[in-house]
Structure 1
Amino acid sequence: MALLNLQLKDFRNIRHGRLVPASGINVLAGPNGSGKTSILEAIHYLGVGRSFRTHLTGRVIQQGEPAFTLFARVQQSEGEGLPVGLSKTRSGDTRLKVAGRQAERLADLAHILPIQLIHPEGYNLLTGGPKLRRAYLDWGLFYSRPEFFAAWGRYRRLLKQRNALLRQLRPWRELGYWDPQLVAAGEALSAHRQDYADAIAPVIAAMAADFLPEFEFSFDFFRGWDRQTGLATVLEQGFERDASLGYTQAGPHKAEIRIKARGMPVQDLLSRGQLKLLVCAMRLAQGLYLKQQSGQDCIFLIDDFASELDQHKRGLLAARLKELQAQVFISAIDINQLGDMITRDNSKLFHVKQGEITETQECKQANE
């Protein structure tokens, strides 16, 4: 899985941009504000359907323009590649195209472009709320289990219906039709997550041992309710409080994966730099596991992260990415900080300045 080309129109400060990346390492070099991170953001938008920098669409569209447009060709097998496109207006209207045809769901694009993002604020995966770690599990399931997305969607719909009834202060008996369906959907969803958490935990542990050998990590999946009690019982026992709050307190929508070291939650023990390394290991582990299970490659986006790694850790990161044979896009102010990252033959260097993108020379030559 790799981008064969990428075109940007009216995306942040890039009025018209185009690049033909290498299938290996691609370095985007330039000063702050040049637009290099915007290229990563555009790739992320194509694969995820949203920005990792803002939730406000208007900030992504170039000033004075009504919309932005992104286009790419994605190499899935031999051939010219699959064309995909995304356009979004200031009002939030979105148009998606896959192979020249209108697509209805962002999931249609996401299936084509598995994206892993490593960036300076990525440690929030561990310090932020359970929603982020739940999303981490769901990302892996989305790509590794075709039936997961339907199960996830069914549970969300039923949960929304139950919460609506709770807000209407309906009596318990009126939930009798919905709760058995919610329980069945919730337990199926939780089983998927439990299986994935059990499978990915040793992969993360092995990867983390390279980056943080001084720690031994434990991983515990919390399904969102007490493991000794069935979901049906939990919902029945919690009905009065759910009704007073207007939402369902327990269930898969409260799930997460809890990570500890030396008996303590990692967010309470590790430094910010160590948390970033652990997140890096978690992202690499997901890419490795996906490749092992399906043969599908991730595209890795690394935003100004390598500059915070010492030379040894940069070498480890470069080695792991090389083993994955992944397509990688790295933003950097000073490419000398990325010496260990850009020694592969299959690499390109792009200089970005005031929204203009120029392919300058092979990364290997630039590093000599």
Structure 2
Amino acid sequence: MSLTRLHIDTFRNIVSAQLVLGEGVNLIYGQNGSGKTSLLEAIYFLGMGRSFRSHLSQRVIQYNEEQLTLFAELNNGHQQKDKIGLRRLRNGDIQVKMNGEKVKRLSTLADSLPIQVITPESFSLLFEGPKSRRQFIDWGAFHTDPHFYQAWVNVRRILKQRNQLLKSEASYSGIQVWDKELVKYAQLVTQIRTQYIDSLNEQLKGIIEEFLPRIDVKVSFTRGWDSKTEYAQLLESQYQRDLSIGYTISGPHKADLRLRVGTMPVQDALSRGQLKLLVCALRIAQGKLLKQQINKSSIYLVDDLPSELDAQHRKLLLQQLHDTGAQVFVTAIEPAAIVDSLGTPVSKMFQVEHGCVTQIE
């Protein structure tokens, strides 16, 4: 799974760019503010229909323009390449086509382009609330189990209906019919998440030993409600509490990932540099597991790597990324910072200046 061609039109400060991409490491270098991160962001936008830098997608459209256009050819391992096109209008409309056919759900894009992002902001995975860690779990669950997406959609739909009933002070008999459906899908979502984390832990062991030798990091999944209580029983017993606050307090929407060293949370046990390495290990483990389980490679977007890691760990991370067999896009101010850390030559090298992208032979 890799991008072979990429066309960008009026995205951030990139007026227009047409790139022929390499299957391995694609190095993008240039000064701060030149547009390096925008190039990574464009790839992410093409795969997810949104930005990893801003919740306001209209901000990525170039000033004084009414739309942006992204197009890519994708090598999916078969003889015929897939073609993906996306157009985002300033009024909020989004148009997506794959091989000439309109795509109705953005999840189709995410399935076609499994994208992993490692940026200075990625470390919020450990420092912020459980939402980012649920998203981390659900990335893997979505890509490795075809039943997960619809089950999770159903959970969120039913929770929305249940919360509306709670706010209107409905009786429990009026809510119970929704609870039966909620329990069914919550159990399926939780089962898939649990199985995924169990598999991920097997991948993580060796990678963490490479990044953090002699540190025993334990990763566990918490499902979002008391593990000793049946969910149907809990929903009924907590009805009065849910009614008083106006929403459902327990369930798969409260699931989390716990990372500990001994009895201490990793945030308290590890240095900031070690925490950065742990996040890198988690992302790499996801890519390796995806390849192992469904023979699909991730696409890694690694922004500003040299500023985050010393030379030794930079080399280790690049080697681990290379070992996944994934296509990698990595940015740096100076190309030597990446070239000198790679055991093999980069596949392609691009220089970005004031939004203009040039391939360097």
Q: TM-score range by the shorter chain?
A: over 0.9
**Structure 1's 78 and 192: CA in aligned 2 closer, same or farther, altered over 3 A?**
closer
Q: Which residue pairs with 2:251 in the alignment? A: 251
**How many Å separate the matches in 2 of 1:67 and 1:226?**
48
Q: Which residue pairs with 1:121 in the alignment? A: 121
Q: Report the CA distance between 1:305 and its aligned residue.
A: 2.0
Give yes or no for the alignment of 1:67 onto 2:61: no
Amino acid at match of 2:183: V
Q: Which residue pairs with 2:284 in the alignment? A: 284
**How many Å separate the matches in 1 of 2:121 and 2:302?**
11
Q: Per-residue displacement from partner, 1:11-58 (whole Å, max 9, x unpaired)?
A: 000111111111001011100111111010011111122111111123
Conserved 8 A contact 2:319-2:343: no
Give yes or no for the alignment of 1:104 onto 2:94: no
**How many Å separate the matches in 1 of 2:58 and 2:153?**
28
Pairs within 5 Å for 1:161-176: 161-176=161-176
Percent identical among aligned pairs is: 45
Pairs within 5 Å for 1:1-368: 1-345=1-345, 347-361=347-361
Aligned length: 361
Structure 2 gaps of 5+ residues are none
Conserved 8 A contact 2:339-2:346: no
3-state secondary structure, aligned to 1:79: coil
Q: Report the CA distance between 1:63 and its aligned residue.
A: 0.2
TM-score, normalisation: structure 2: 0.97
Amino acid at match of 1:40: L
Conserved 8 A contact 1:166-1:243: yes
3-state secondary structure, aligned to 1:315: helix
Amino acid at match of 2:311: Q
Conserved 8 A contact 2:305-2:314: no
Q: Report the CA distance between 1:341 and its aligned residue.
A: 4.3
3-state secondary structure, aligned to 1:176: helix
3-state secondary structure, aligned to 1:54: coil
Q: Per-residue displacement from partner, 1:42-95 (whole Å, max 9, x unpaired)?
A: 111111221111111232110000111111011002435100011112222111
3-state secondary structure, aligned to 1:4: strand
Q: Which residue pairs with 1:366 in the alignment? A: none
Amino acid at match of 2:294: S
3-state secondary structure, aligned to 2:122: coil
Q: Per-residue displacement from partner, 1:231-270 (whole Å, max 9, x unpaired)?
A: 1111111111111111100000000110101320111222
3-state secondary structure, aligned to 1:228: coil
**How many Å separate the matches in 1 of 2:223 and 2:305?**
32
Which is worse superposed, 300-309 or 104-113? 300-309
**How many Å separate the matches in 1 of 2:80 and 2:189?**
37
Q: Per-residue displacement from partner, 1:315-335 (whole Å, max 9, x unpaired)?
A: 211221221121100111011
Conserved 8 A contact 1:23-1:346: no
Moved over 6 A (4+): none
Amino acid at match of 2:209: A
Q: Which residue pairs with 1:365 in the alignment? A: none
Amino acid at match of 1:98: M
Q: Report the CA distance between 1:163 and its aligned residue.
A: 0.8
**How many Å separate the matches in 2 of 1:137 and 1:53?**
20
**How many Å separate the matches in 1 of 2:252 and 2:277?**
28
**How many Å separate the matches in 2 of 1:221 and 1:115?**
23
Amino acid at match of 1:34: S
Conserved 8 A contact 1:318-1:340: no
Amino acid at match of 1:133: R
Conserved 8 A contact 2:311-2:341: no
